[in-house]
Structure 1
Amino acid sequence: MDDLTKVRDLLSPSAPTEEVVEAGRARLLATIHDAPAGARVRRTGLRTARWTALAAGLLGVAAAATVVITSGASPQHPLPSITATASAERLSARQILLTAANAIRNTEDGDHWVQRTRRGNLEKDPTGRYTLLLTYSYELWVPRAADKPTSVIKRYLGAAPATPADEEAWRAAGAPKVWTYPSEEIVKGGETIRTPSEEIRAEPEEPHAYQWPSGGSVGRLLPSTPMTLADLEKLPTTGEELRAYLEPLVAKEIKRTNDADPDIGRYLFDIGTNLVTNTPISPEVTSAVYEMLASLPGVTATGEVVDALGRTGQAITRVEKGVPRKERLVIDPSSGKPLSFDLVAGTTTDEQRAGDVFSFRAIEQTGWRDGEPDLPAKRTKLRAPLYF
Structure 2
Amino acid sequence: MTDRMFAELKPAALDELTEEAYRRRRSADLARAFASPRPAPRRRSRRPFLLLAGTVAAGLTAAATVVALSGESAAPRPPTPTPLAAQPVSPRSFLLAAATTAMREPATSGRYWYVRERTSYRVQSLPSDYQAKIKALVQEQKRTEERLKGDSDGLAAAKKEFERKVTELKMAELPYLAFAADTRESWRAMKQGEPGRTVSNQDVAVTFGSPADEAAWQAAGSPKLVDEEARTRVDDTERVLSIDNPSLTLQNLSALPGAKDTLKRKLDALWQSSPNTANADKNGYLWQTAVDLMTAPLQPGTRSALFEALADQPGITSQGQATDTLGRTGVALSAPTAHTITVRLIIDSETAELLQYEMWDRERPMLKVTLEQMGWSDTLGERPKG
TM-score by length of 1: 0.61
Q: In the alignment, is the contact (CA less than 8 A) between 1:236 and 1:242 conserved in 2?
A: yes
1:305 is aligned to 2:330: no
C-alpha spacing 1:175/1:309, structure 2 compared with 1 (3 Å):
farther
User: Which of 221, 234, 257 is the equivalent residue of 1:211?
Assistant: 234
1-side partners of 2:315 and 2:267: how far apart?
18
Q: CA deviation at 1:138?
A: 0.7
Q: In the alignment, is the contact (CA less than 8 A) between 1:64 and 1:361 conserved in 2?
A: no
Q: Deviations over 1:137-179 (max 9, x none)?
A: 111101122231121111254343344xx23432365377844
Q: CA deviation at 1:230?
A: 4.4
C-alpha spacing 1:303/1:110, structure 2 compared with 1 (3 Å):
same
Structure 2 gap ranges (5+): 13-20, 27-32, 38-77, 127-172
Question: Percent of counterpart pairs with the same letter?
Answer: 23
2-side partners of 1:266 and 1:176: how far apart?
41
1-side partners of 2:177 and 2:113: how far apart?
35
Q: Which has the higher contact order (CA 8 A, sep 6+)?
A: 2
Structure 2 residue aligned with 1:367: 375
User: Which of 198, 204, 207 is the equivalent residue of 1:158?
Assistant: 204
Q: CA deviation at 1:218?
A: 4.4
User: Which of 240, 251, 254 is the equivalent residue of 1:233?
Assistant: 254
Counting only pairs closer than 5 Å after superposition, residues 220-299 of structure 1 correspond to structure 2 as 220=241, 223=244, 225-253=246-274, 259=278, 263-277=281-295, 279-299=296-316
2-side partners of 1:257 and 1:232: how far apart?
20
1-side partners of 2:91 and 2:119: how far apart?
25
Aligned length in residues: 280
1-side partners of 2:292 and 2:284: how far apart?
12
1-side partners of 2:376 and 2:4: how far apart?
32
Q: CA deviation at 1:124?
A: 5.2
- The code of the aligned residue for 1:360 comes to K
Q: In the alignment, is the contact (CA less than 8 A) between 1:238 and 1:291 conserved in 2?
A: no
1:340 is aligned to 2:361: no
1-side partners of 2:240 and 2:5: how far apart?
22
More helix by share: 2
- The code of the aligned residue for 1:171 comes to A
1:174 aligned counterpart, secondary structure: helix
1-side partners of 2:219 and 2:324: how far apart?
29
Q: CA deviation at 1:251?
A: 1.8
2-side partners of 1:154 and 1:112: how far apart?
17
2-side partners of 1:252 and 1:302: how far apart?
34
2-side partners of 1:299 and 1:330: how far apart?
15
Name the Cα RMSD after superposition: 3.8
2-side partners of 1:289 and 1:81: how far apart?
31
2:188 aligned counterpart, secondary structure: strand
C-alpha spacing 1:40/1:332, structure 2 compared with 1 (3 Å):
closer
Q: In the alignment, is the contact (CA less than 8 A) between 2:182 and 2:205 conserved in 1?
A: no
1:330 aligned counterpart, secondary structure: strand
Structure 1 gap ranges (5+): 1-38, 52-59, 66-74, 180-198, 347-353, 376-388
Q: Deviations over 1:114-144 (max 9, x none)?
A: 1111111123578755422211111110112
Q: CA deviation at 1:373?
A: 1.3
Counting only pairs closer than 5 Å after superposition, residues 76-225 of structure 1 correspond to structure 2 as 77=35, 83-104=81-102, 105-106=105-106, 109-123=109-123, 128-163=174-209, 166-171=210-215, 174=218, 178-179=222-223, 200-201=225-226, 205-214=228-237, 217-220=238-241, 223=244, 225=246
